[in-house]
Amino acid sequence: MQVYIDLENLLKEKNISKNKVCEACKLQRTQLNNYCKNKVSRIDLTILAKLCDFLECSPNDILKLK
């Protein structure tokens, strides 16, 4: 099994722009894009916590198993 980041779909479901997420979570756009495109080899738990707090979701909504 492999864990992947399903952030892009979650943003579409909640109709939230990447710009709003970057602003609210104090992330750089390239950082967020790497999470959205699943190009992160190590997940920063602080970033995950910020995303979950802003999106009002749990880590299970962002991280999925393949």
- Domain residue ranges in the chain: 3-65
Report the top-level CATH class of 3-65. mainly alpha
Q: 7 with 36: CB under 8 angstroms? A: yes
User: pLDDT of 17-62, one tens digit each?
Assistant: 999 999 999 999 999 999 999 999 899 999 999 999 999 999 999 9
pLDDT of residue 20: 97
**Residues 2 and 31 sit within 8 Å (Cβ to Cβ):** no
- The predicted model scores a pTM of 0.91
